[in-house]
A and B are shown apart, each in its own frame.
Chain A
């Protein structure tokens, strides 16, 4: 359990990451990726080439003035902007993130928009902020009439999906989307960062983070995107390998499953590529138990072994070889 249960640490950020396969036959090259993610004409799309190709759209702001989700039903009005952006990993996996940060104290009454606009990606509560109720309510999910951060992330994906000139909507495999809903609070002075990651039904994941003060909310966003990406990869590959008909007389059935994994997913595993150094401990905890990289290596090895066996089988079938 994270330490968030003990003290009323101020909430610093909440958000949701949606991860899915880009609906194209082939992975996008860098130029097309930059074009796809140009969500704002006035800001540049950022590209990082190491340790893998990673393209990030400019931040888009959505103005909101509505009650925050709380598990107690308490109405907490907040005003400000929710920041969202999309990122594309190796031209193949797309992620959309919507998030906001919260100040420790709100304002007594609603301010003019100019007040909120100088705080991009920040929601300022009007009145008191019941932090525990907000964290729990946010992780429980959307209720009608409350802020829905997930739908802001989804609208970024929808906007990108509509770009027919770049996307052919003919993906080499189908994979379920995942949603990672996360909250981050501050730890008490001197405490190590900690996390609680849970996997739910229907692609829903939740992550409760406690982070040392002084760490910007963007660091939490980076960690969550990284975790969401690797969780999606592992889930997708594990689902495809689950019940693989290895005993089937027809090799093609197996190859139809394995080939897209080799072509499109196996090279994407790159943990800690863009995680803040302070947060590496959080990732290390997940590597220890349940041991994601271990599982991934086992899956990748299995796929390669299956392909090698089938290659031997095919070679034996070539007339004149034996």
Chain B
């Protein structure tokens, strides 16, 4: 399955949440590949704790591959290369977890057939080898978004592959509106896809939203504020919920809400079970939400099937 992780803006926790999603699928026994299509600022190497990879990826990363400067993009086995102590011992029953890192080399893309072919060839190849392929796309209606839309369009070559879109957004007025705009707006994913030959209804059915960094008003510190503050926040929350549902970003179309997690505020990283139970630095609710997201992503009953 192909999973495209998109977001309206930067700083929505898209990269870190989708990397955690990939990690959970690998823990579950699936063979997972994470493609860093965030061409402006590749961050996956940081999230997976691979400090040497950015230097190694210069000239051999995804950007170089798509431009034709490298014949095959670099592949990094996360379990064996990561410096994250909890990840060093690959858990029993886990699947492969491979990162195809991005690189900063070279200038901007010129959209062209050649990139499209190279992108399609790469994904077809990875699709043979991996159960889940997570593609982390640059924020906004970016070149990366257009590239995968073209690749999955009827003439692109990936139309036959099962693919799902996750649009990440934070829980604020502006982010909710922007996420709706990115998905359904006049310059959004559905419209752009339709122009490339996608069936708008099918594409719409393949998009779900993920709320990131959502404050849980029933747990500390939010439940410990003054009554006036609490009442105001409740009001904001319900106003946001109304706004979201009128824009098509409501609960029905939301796959998961990832709570505001202190660990992720300080560090872009994978949350491990040790973080939750041994060190007790990460919240159980975050762990549970990530498991929920991973399960719902592959639960066909929640997705209007193609």
A67 at the interface (CB under 8 A from B): no
Cβ–Cβ contact B121 & A174, under 8 A: no
- Per DSSP, chain A at the interface is loop
Cβ–Cβ contact A151 & B120, under 8 A: no
Within 143-170 of A, Cβ neighbours of B (below 8 Å) are at 144, 148, 150-151, 154, 157-158, 161-162, 164, 168-170
A64 at the interface (CB under 8 A from B): no
Cβ–Cβ contact B121 & A158, under 8 A: yes
Q: Which of B70-78, B214-222, B289-297 is near enough to bind chain A?
A: B70-78
Q: How far is the CA of A177 from the CA of B159 in the complex (A)?
A: 23
Which A residues are in CB contact (< 8 Å) with B80?
Answer: 201
Cβ–Cβ contact A202 & B75, under 8 A: yes
Chain A, Cβ-Cβ closest to B131: A174
B93 at the interface (CB under 8 A from A): yes
B288 at the interface (CB under 8 A from A): no
A290 at the interface (CB under 8 A from B): no
Cβ–Cβ contact B120 & A162, under 8 A: yes
Chain A, Cβ-Cβ closest to B96: A176
Cβ–Cβ contact B77 & A174, under 8 A: no
Give the number of chain A interface residues (Cβ < 8 Å).
Answer: 26
Most buried by B among A142, A144, A169, A202: A169
B31 at the interface (CB under 8 A from A): yes
Given A148-B71, A151-B71, A164-B157, does the pair A174, B124 have CB atoms closer than 8 Å? no
Chain B, Cβ-Cβ closest to A161: B124
B156-172 vs A: 1/0 string, CB under 8 Å? 01011100000000000
B201 at the interface (CB under 8 A from A): no
Chain B, Cβ-Cβ closest to A203: B129
Within 222-267 of A, Cβ neighbours of B (below 8 Å) are at 243, 245
Within 69-123 of B, Cβ neighbours of A (below 8 Å) are at 70-72, 75, 77, 80, 92-93, 96, 120-121
Which B residues are in CB contact (< 8 Å) with A162?
Answer: 120-121, 124, 157
Q: How far is the CA of A150 from the CA of B121 in the complex (A)?
A: 15
**Contact residue among A154, A169, A202 (Cβ-Cβ distance under 8 Å from B77):** A202
Given A154-B71, A243-B93, does the pair A174, B120 have CB atoms closer than 8 Å? no
Q: How far is the CA of A161 from the CA of B160 in the complex (A)?
A: 12
Give the number of chain B interface residues (Cβ < 8 Å).
Answer: 24
Which B residues are in CB contact (< 8 Å) with A201?
Answer: 77, 80
Q: How far is the CA of A144 from the CA of B96 in the complex (A)?
A: 28
B306 at the interface (CB under 8 A from A): no
Which B residues are in CB contact (< 8 Å) with A23?
Answer: 124, 127-128
Within 28-82 of B, Cβ neighbours of A (below 8 Å) are at 31, 59, 70-72, 75, 77, 80
Give the Cβ gap from A39 to chain B, nearest Cβ, in Å: 16
B143 at the interface (CB under 8 A from A): no
Q: How far is the CA of A201 from the CA of B81 in the complex (A)?
A: 12
Give the Cβ gap from B57 to chain A, nearest Cβ, in Å: 14
Q: How far is the CA of A20 from the CA of B124 in the complex (A)?
A: 12
Given A144-B59, A151-B72, A174-B130, does the pair A161, B93 have CB atoms closer than 8 Å? no
Which A residues are in CB contact (< 8 Å) with B131?
Answer: 174
Q: How far is the CA of A168 from the CA of B131 in the complex (A)?
A: 15
Given A201-B77, A202-B75, A243-B92, does the pair A168, B160 have CB atoms closer than 8 Å? yes
Give the Cβ gap from A78 to chain B, nearest Cβ, in Å: 18
Within 144-200 of B, Cβ neighbours of A (below 8 Å) are at 157, 159-161
Chain B, Cβ-Cβ closest to A168: B160
B279 at the interface (CB under 8 A from A): no
Cβ–Cβ contact A174 & B31, under 8 A: yes
A175 at the interface (CB under 8 A from B): yes
Which A residues are in CB contact (< 8 Å) with B77?
Answer: 201-202
Could you give 25 example pairs across A and B, Cβ below 8 Å?
Answer: A20-B129, A23-B128, A142-B71, A148-B71, A150-B71, A151-B71, A154-B72, A157-B125, A158-B125, A161-B124, A162-B121, A164-B159, A169-B124, A169-B127, A170-B160, A174-B31, A174-B128, A175-B128, A176-B96, A177-B125, A177-B128, A177-B129, A201-B77, A202-B77, A243-B92
- B binding-site residues for A, Cβ under 8 Å: 31, 59, 70-72, 75, 77, 80, 92-93, 96, 120-121, 124-125, 127-131, 157, 159-161
Supplied contacts A162-B121, A174-B129, A202-B75, 9 more A-B pairs, CB within 8 Å: A23-B124, A144-B70, A151-B72, A154-B125, A158-B124, A164-B159, A169-B124, A174-B131, A176-B129
- A binding-site residues for B, Cβ under 8 Å: 20-21, 23, 142, 144, 148, 150-151, 154, 157-158, 161-162, 164, 168-171, 174-177, 201-202, 243, 245
